[in-house]
Structure 1
């Protein structure tokens, strides 16, 4: 006997109570009908044999899904309709085609009949209620297989007898009802369905045993032991074969890995198959029949160990495979990298050979062209120096004439009166031309305006030499190869070097060498550069500056401060531009206000490329100091007031000459003070205060007696002296004592004017305040309270 468990339907957890009301309508349930694969007679014979062995108490096999494993019969589910209260009229029509309605005789439940019924039920379980008995239950209790027509008629007859007996028995006094005693009224309110809320929570009953089968009886036990023994032997053989194959495959895999590491070739499939064929098959040992079967826990433990071992081996194999694959990938990558390195090395060697040849040719080119370039620079510098000599000689001739008129000594000028008058007339003409050409306001005092223009003849010669020099400059690189004719081509060649091989570029000091490479192109453009005569002194407008401003810089937002190429313009300024400007200082006209302003602008622009502490910039400032010192020393020696004192009073012509001479010297004072940002204060005070102010201007103030003109001179002198030189003191500085004494003498001489003229008194008082003489200023202020 065996019991099997079927997992209930998961669609809905409903339980049904089935009642049979009449003959034709049966409760609709999922019945499993066994389809016989043998004849009915043979089944009956086997049933009788089993009953005889078991002593008449043979059990029928109840199967709910587990009989498929026996292979002796198959289960065919019969589909039902969706209405649980109705069934099809032709259900099991093939099996019950001979069903007929056989009326049964009614019998009473007398004492004899009841005794007979009890005697017939001694060895059988009590019959279930007819109302609750299904066809499947009835057949499964009596038969193992599908009943034949005789059995069906017998079952129908028995059902009719029991139904009739129940009806009659209710009327008889000896009737014992087998049905429950619930009244029909109580059953009306009782539902046949069990909802999900009424069902117990948790897993379904026997859910873990769905598909299992429990056999009972001695034969079933023996068959189960034989089946387990045969299955165990079969599994053991399979396991031994798998272990041998796994060991062989593991050895082969280890050998292949070792050969791969050594670099040997992998064996072919034919070689491996031949090795497998030569290996002896494992010897199979039979299990003695007396060996006891292990229990379920021991078998489960062994199986788990075996599975764990297989899993570990599998993981190890996977890890080895992954490691081998990684090694293979690394080998492929290394091989590709080596091939790339080989190509790059070949290209690198070829490139540097070409670059080396290019640099050698460039060096020869620079050595040859620098000599020609320096010669052009010297020729143009001589042209500038010639123009300066012309202007200076003319200026000193005019100043000498004015000085002689101021001091009343005609013998100071050796030139003839006709030439002197001609020079004076030429000066007036130049001043008139400047007034006409000037768009902005111009100083109304003659002598303050810049008088550095050349005469017509000198200007023509000067322009002719300039044109000749520029022509030679343009032809300087005509005979050079195409690679050296333009700064753009040279720039691209070295930028390519930096981009392709940046490390070699840095190790070869490429960034530090670029100022020397580009110097030839910068100096070529600066050959005819006139920074002191030009109104525009910005380097940004030059061609070389536009081309080299972005050299070696890919991204302007990401600039490496340690990269020498970022300071290329600074190095060019220090090594090329500042030395060329220093050479131009020799032709600098310190008396010219226009050239002074241009030089001051250039110095301010150089501060954007170089700090004031660099060596080239210091050398430039030193050259400016030397040039100013030479001009001031020449002025002091040329006009010595201790030798020729001014005559008082002088003539009207002498006062006009004194005014021109005074304003010319005063302009030199202004030009010198403009360099206070770069030149040492001690040197500037010595030139501006000691030599020019106290040595020349103060003595020139004693000549004239024009109170209005003299007051303007005092005001401009105090305005020209930097306030930081005077400082926040409450007394007159020592270097202004001479000027302060002369100003007090001027105030005394013009006291009546100050008394009459309130504006004159206030202007003179401000001059005393700027000199820090607050007492004189207070006296002038009290005059007009």
Structure 2
């Protein structure tokens, strides 16, 4: 240690005078090698900074290395003691550690393994996500490389958007004119229908009043003439004039088997006809002007559907995702209404819906849709939606305000159109509602006709025995008019429920009006003819089932009248009419009553009629 101190005292004297920092050589906690490295690094930095002042750095380094070796020889002992002391202190055996066994180690390893597996799975998910991102990026790159087709697609969608916007703007502008012309045509037809109805009811009232006055005059006095006011006289002359014209027309056509009262009596006077045709022509002229300033692509249904057909063929996914099948009926509604303005479903020669241009265009559009996918079935509902939204409301208006149930020609034409329309109505909720509204309107209109238009007066037998008397003629006309309505009601047997028709035709009309006239008539060929006509109007499907051996309950009164008439005729000279009555009873399934009558009157030759059933 003394040597070390002496050497250390000599060191500063041997150092150059220009060194200001004294180098420490006292041992420190760091190892000697670390201290040498630090000193060397520090000295190198100083040397680099003062390279111009110090010209012999290698000599100085050698001197320092020799001094370090000397210090190491004397310091190893101290270092050894210090290391031993630290080691003993670090591993003190007095410290207690927790017990360790195989289960604890195994548990820790499993926990560690679980954590590693979770981490691995997380990495796998991230890897898969990165793989998908790479694929998506490649696909995007490829789509971008094909930017030409994308530009064309964008151009098509943009042009389609502009076209639809222009189409909607055009229709919104024209819809007001369409509604005005619709209202004008509806008002014209309504005015005509109301004129016919009012004329019929007024003439019925005046003619009935005249006959009532005639009866009162005959009861009070047998002499003198009946005076009537000028209006009643003029009305009666008008009635007779029209009847004479119809009789003349029937004679020319060879129709001799006609009953007075069956005619609809809907002839217009020449002045009224001219006014009607002029107003009708003015409306049609206004109709032509609606779209005269519009291109065909915005007013022709065929051209509009062609635009959407191109969309469906080029980009079917976006076409069906946009629910175009729900939009087309709304877009076409104004244009279809234009074609329906001059359509009158009550005229026997009116064009059928299937022959209309809009119907043909819509059917072609639906037929051109592909059939290899279920989603394309949405286009198949376009026609039913149009019928429900546009056609049925139009038809319902005709039924409620213009249709005359006493007109057989109007009724047959209306039934034809209704049958076609209801066949194309699917079972959707909206379509079902429209259908029910239409059928309800038909039933209500027929009820109103029974209440307002059926009037069959009853006169004393002395007044009606003479078939040429005005009372007899008037009663006959009114009976056949009621029987005509009876037949018109039962023409709806394929469209309306059976119980509804039986309530209207059998209960409200046959049992309330027609039977009463028959009961007050003298049995004979004329009565049998009327009964045969009543039976002919009854739908065959009501009696077609051979298993049914009992009549319809609502026909019970009619059957009892047939039995009474048969009993009376069997005791008179009209024995041939008895067979006709039996045939009628067999047709309406009154088999037990017919068998009882045959046995009671020993008419064995008529049993074959029952066996044929």
User: What does the per-residue CA deviation read over 1:591-628, in whole Å, with 9 as the maximum and x for residues that have no partner?
Assistant: 00001111111122123311477222222111211211
In structure 2, the residue matched to 1:23 is none
1:683 aligns with 2:504: no
For structure 2, which runs of at least 5 residues remain unmatched after alignment?
1-134, 218-227, 607-613
Kept after mapping to 1: 8 A contact 2:193/2:402? yes
In structure 2, the residue matched to 1:10 is none
| Structure 1 pair 442–678 and aligned structure 2 pair: CA distance change class (3 A) | farther
In structure 2, the residue matched to 1:492 is 306
- Give the TM-score, by structure 2 length: 0.65
| Structure 1 pair 488–783 and aligned structure 2 pair: CA distance change class (3 A) | closer
| Structure 1 pair 459–543 and aligned structure 2 pair: CA distance change class (3 A) | same
Cα distance, 1:694 vs structure 2:
1.4
Of residues 682, 689, 695, the one that matches 2:512 is 695
- Structure 2 matches for 1:253-652, cutoff 5 A? 337-338=142-143, 341-400=146-205, 416-433=232-249, 436=252, 443-551=257-365, 553-554=367-368, 562-585=376-399, 586-611=401-426, 614-635=432-453, 639=455, 645-649=458-462, 650=464, 651=466, 652=468
Cα distance, 1:557 vs structure 2:
7.5
| Structure 1 pair 401–779 and aligned structure 2 pair: CA distance change class (3 A) | farther
SS at match of 2:244: helix
| Structure 1 pair 674–335 and aligned structure 2 pair: CA distance change class (3 A) | closer
CA distance in 2, matches of 1:690, 1:421: 36
Kept after mapping to 2: 8 A contact 1:765/1:781? no
Of residues 556, 562, 582, the one that matches 1:765 is 582
| Structure 1 pair 421–784 and aligned structure 2 pair: CA distance change class (3 A) | farther
User: What does the per-residue CA deviation read over 1:43-102, in whole Å, with 9 as the maximum and x for residues that have no partner?
Assistant: xxxxxxxxxxxxxxxxxxxxxxxxxxxxxxxxxxxxxxxxxxxxxxxxxxxxxxxxxxxx
In structure 1, the residue matched to 2:478 is 661
User: What does the per-residue CA deviation read over 1:15-62, in whole Å, with 9 as the maximum and x for residues that have no partner?
Assistant: xxxxxxxxxxxxxxxxxxxxxxxxxxxxxxxxxxxxxxxxxxxxxxxx
Cα distance, 1:525 vs structure 2:
0.5
CA distance in 1, matches of 2:157, 2:172: 22
CA distance in 2, matches of 1:370, 1:506: 28
Kept after mapping to 1: 8 A contact 2:329/2:386? yes
Kept after mapping to 2: 8 A contact 1:548/1:569? yes
SS at match of 1:416: helix
In structure 1, the residue matched to 2:8 is none
Kept after mapping to 2: 8 A contact 1:407/1:646? no
User: What does the per-residue CA deviation read over 1:618-670, in whole Å, with 9 as the maximum and x for residues that have no partner?
Assistant: 2211121121122122246xx3x7xx643223243222222211111100011
Kept after mapping to 2: 8 A contact 1:519/1:576? yes
- Structure 2 matches for 1:7-18, cutoff 5 A? none
In structure 2, the residue matched to 1:750 is 569
For structure 1, which runs of at least 5 residues remain unmatched after alignment?
1-329
Cα distance, 1:693 vs structure 2:
0.8
Of residues 597, 602, 611, the one that matches 1:776 is 597
CA distance in 1, matches of 2:601, 2:276: 55
How many residue pairs end up in the alignment? Answer: 446
Cα distance, 1:361 vs structure 2:
1.7
Kept after mapping to 1: 8 A contact 2:450/2:509? yes
Cα distance, 1:524 vs structure 2:
0.6
| Structure 1 pair 401–658 and aligned structure 2 pair: CA distance change class (3 A) | farther
SS at match of 1:563: helix
Cα distance, 1:421 vs structure 2:
2.9
| Structure 1 pair 536–376 and aligned structure 2 pair: CA distance change class (3 A) | closer
CA distance in 2, matches of 1:372, 1:384: 19
Kept after mapping to 2: 8 A contact 1:540/1:546? yes
User: What does the per-residue CA deviation read over 1:241-283, in whole Å, with 9 as the maximum and x for residues that have no partner?
Assistant: xxxxxxxxxxxxxxxxxxxxxxxxxxxxxxxxxxxxxxxxxxx
Cα distance, 1:570 vs structure 2:
2.1
Kept after mapping to 2: 8 A contact 1:655/1:704? no
Cα distance, 1:560 vs structure 2:
5.5
Cα distance, 1:464 vs structure 2:
1.7
Kept after mapping to 1: 8 A contact 2:525/2:574? no
Kept after mapping to 1: 8 A contact 2:532/2:584? yes
Kept after mapping to 2: 8 A contact 1:483/1:489? yes
Kept after mapping to 2: 8 A contact 1:408/1:647? no
In structure 2, the residue matched to 1:157 is none
Kept after mapping to 2: 8 A contact 1:591/1:668? yes
CA distance in 2, matches of 1:570, 1:383: 29
CA distance in 1, matches of 2:216, 2:408: 31
Kept after mapping to 1: 8 A contact 2:511/2:558? yes
CA distance in 2, matches of 1:611, 1:724: 25
Cα distance, 1:356 vs structure 2:
1.9
Kept after mapping to 2: 8 A contact 1:473/1:524? yes
- Give the TM-score, by structure 1 length: 0.52
In structure 1, the residue matched to 2:99 is none
| Structure 1 pair 416–451 and aligned structure 2 pair: CA distance change class (3 A) | closer
User: What does the per-residue CA deviation read over 1:321-368, in whole Å, with 9 as the maximum and x for residues that have no partner?
Assistant: xxxxxxxxx9xx979943564222222223222222222222121212
SS at match of 2:365: coil
Kept after mapping to 2: 8 A contact 1:765/1:778? no
In structure 1, the residue matched to 2:526 is 709
User: What does the per-residue CA deviation read over 1:750-784, in whole Å, with 9 as the maximum and x for residues that have no partner?
Assistant: 3343xx45532211222333451222354466287
CA distance in 1, matches of 2:436, 2:194: 27
SS at match of 1:451: coil
CA distance in 2, matches of 1:469, 1:411: 51
CA distance in 2, matches of 1:780, 1:376: 69
In structure 1, the residue matched to 2:554 is 735
CA distance in 1, matches of 2:380, 2:548: 48
CA distance in 2, matches of 1:359, 1:350: 14
Cα distance, 1:572 vs structure 2:
1.5
Cα distance, 1:407 vs structure 2:
7.2
- Structure 2 matches for 1:105-144, cutoff 5 A? none
| Structure 1 pair 403–748 and aligned structure 2 pair: CA distance change class (3 A) | farther
SS at match of 1:477: coil
In structure 1, the residue matched to 2:31 is none
